[in-house]
Structure 1
Amino acid sequence: MVGLVEPLIAAASVPAALAGWTVWRARAISRAFAPEGRFVPTRAGRLHLIDQGEGAVPAVFLHGASGSALAWRPALGAGLATLGRTVLVDRPGHGFSERQAGRAAARLDHQAGAVIDALDALGITQAVVVAHSWAGALACRLALDHADRVAGLVLIAPATHPWPGGVHWYYRVAASRLLGPLFSWTLALPVGEAWMGRSIAGVFSPQSIDTGYAESAGIPLVLRPAQFMANAQDVAGLLVQVRDQAQRYGAIACPVTVISGDKDGVVWTHLHSLGMARDVPQTKLIVLPDVGHGPHHADPALVTAEIQVLQQGRGETRPLLHGRAPVA
């Protein structure tokens, strides 16, 4: 009997040790990236926002998957200050924002509503919404459900349309009810830190990213168990949502600028960005040659200039009928 019990104890001690290390490491990461913005109440819980500058039409920035509000700084740098008032948002469950709705917080309508709640708290009636990657679908949902609050969309390498296949296996595992907590509290953080450099290089290829990017963009935050699961739920739940949402894109009435790279290996430009140009007639499509998933890193001056165009109301729009977008 002793010979059976000892291996079981040894086997159980491995995940217990990994979980203990994960708790310690996650706390250390949170301390290293202390919140520097303000918290506002929303339907998703308190959202963490970095609200800076002044301007009549603010630019509201929504980060993609595996990111936080900090991800915009190493990309746009000093260009952010040229945009007047900017609001960098930690989406629900990311960075230092709460995610009180649990798995339901992965719904685009829920996150869009939380962003509107945050704008209400800040006294912002209308803004240009700037979104990268996963958040492209969220920005479109804002323009569909809250058209009067969106002055324009700047979508950077956006995920907006259904795609063949699915998502990477670790998203499915981390998003599952049974295996998600076990995986996220034992393996995700140590393996994620070991592979972080290679993962970042793969995302932005063929561009190279500064060696300090992970720290300046707060990437380690996503490896904390709660955020890792939230991120996985967002990614795993996107495909089924954009299948339905993409059918409504003809109703988007605000000006839309899409900036993508022709070498994007993460979000396929020919499917998503060209899909926006096809489905939303007033879309301005800019495809940068030899650029991957980070057009805002490759040409930050271009991105900030296009944001300014929409802030100044110089984008093309279709008329609204009684405050509602016409059906295409």
Structure 2
Amino acid sequence: MTFFLSGAAGLLVLLAGFVVASILRNRRRVARWTAAFPPRGRFIEVQGQRLHVVQDGPEDGPDVVLLHGASINLRDLEITLVPGLVRAGFRVTLFDRPGLGHSLPCDLHISLRRQAELLDEAAGKLGLERFILTGQSFGGAVATSWAVHRPERVAGLVSISAPVLPWPPEIPRHFRLLARPLAGPLLARLIAAWLPLARLERELAEQFHPAPLPADYLARSGALLAQRPETLHNDACQRLRLLRDQRAMVEALPRLRLPVELVHGTQDTKVRPDRHAEPLREEIPGARLKRLAGLGHMPHHAEPEACVEAIRRAARRGGLLPAVQAPPRAQLLEAHP
């Protein structure tokens, strides 16, 4: 009996030591990541939600709003699309979506529609009247919900690798655990404390496949912010309710009356084009699909110019840029006698 009690006491001491070590390590890592990737813009508060926003480009340029995907933050799009958009004369507004990046804290059960409503109100506070709304991956689902439920400011929609149509997602088991009310926050703190960076890089490489993970991606994207406990928990909760939110808006898609440009890699295994972009083109009147041969889920990194060109097409179709004029018939005959 004495041996059993002493053994149990020893286990409790070890467990307590592990918990304390995890808490301290978690705090150090989160503080280091947050200091390395601080907010780059300003904050807007709408209905109690604080949103981090960054703007770039000429004040008088046509407006583009960019929404990033799951887990990540606005830097993922800033380092790829913003340079080309600014060169093309656009004024670019990027948001950290609610619950991610620096847009914390957030309602754990926030829907696509609620995110869209908050972001639309923030766009109004920024004075954005008409813009091309662009979303990548999960951000494309939010952007589509925005176009469905708050279309007044949206001149055109560009959806990049986005899971818009209802299809049961392949959600890893740890995301289901992370979304639970009690176990989720505890597991999130353990992940933040002990997740090896090599494991994170492997997970990111799966997103980029078959293209390689850029060597400087972790250093530039702020992907480490996604490993903070609060962000892990928020992201898991949003992923788990995605299918429900997709089903809630799917019947409204054929009623969309705005220019829609779809961009999708043919080798995307995370959001398969045959389940999303290809049937979505048939659902939305006038939607156009640009297939990017040989690319996976992150085409804005592999071919950012193709994504910028899709935004330019949407801007021309939506009246924010002059339409491309066809050359006179005489010039065509002269060029091709």
Normalised by the size of structure 1, how large is the TM-score?
A: 0.91
Q: Distance in 2 between matches of 1:148 and 1:187?
A: 41
- CA shift, 1:55, in A, is 3.6
Letter paired with 1:228: L
Q: Report Cα offsets for 1:41-97 as digits up to 9, x if no partner.
A: 112511000111224531000000021010013323521312421011100111111
Q: Distance in 1 between matches of 2:189 and 2:281?
A: 41
Aligned to 2:22: 18
The partner residue of 1:84 within 80, 87, 90 is: 90
Which consecutive residues of structure 1, in runs of 5 or more, have no partner in the other structure?
316-328
Letter paired with 1:288: L
DSSP 3-state at the match of 1:75: coil
DSSP 3-state at the match of 1:86: strand
Matched, 1:168 2:172: yes
- CA shift, 1:247, in A, is 2.1
Is the CA contact 2:281–2:289 (under 8 Å) kept in the aligned structure 1? yes
CA RMSD of aligned residues (A): 1.7
- CA shift, 1:214, in A, is 1.5
Count the aligned residue pairs. 313
DSSP 3-state at the match of 1:104: coil
- CA shift, 1:187, in A, is 2.3
Letter paired with 1:15: V
Aligned to 1:70: 75
Q: Report Cα offsets for 1:173-217 as digits up to 9, x if no partner.
A: 111112101100112453263312111111111111321112211
Q: Distance in 2 between matches of 1:200 and 1:111?
A: 25
Q: Report Cα offsets for 1:87-127 as digits up to 9, x if no partner.
A: 11100111111234x2232x111100111121111011121
Larger radius of gyration: 2
Is the CA contact 2:163–2:271 (under 8 Å) kept in the aligned structure 1? yes
DSSP 3-state at the match of 1:103: coil
Aligned pair in 2 of structure 1 residues 145, 204: CA closer, same or farther (>3 Å)? same
Is the CA contact 1:44–1:110 (under 8 Å) kept in the aligned structure 2? no
Residues 236-245 or 284-293, more deviating: 236-245
Is the CA contact 1:44–1:92 (under 8 Å) kept in the aligned structure 2? no
Aligned pair in 2 of structure 1 residues 296, 61: CA closer, same or farther (>3 Å)? same
DSSP 3-state at the match of 2:213: coil
Moved beyond 3 Å, runs of 4+: 312-315
The partner residue of 2:284 within 274, 277, 280 is: 280
Aligned pair in 2 of structure 1 residues 126, 23: CA closer, same or farther (>3 Å)? same
Matches within 5 A, 1:184-195: 184-191=188-195, 193-195=197-199
Matches within 5 A, 1:25-174: 25-43=29-47, 45-53=49-57, 54-76=59-81, 78-81=83-86, 82-100=88-106, 102-105=107-110, 107-164=111-168, 166-174=170-178
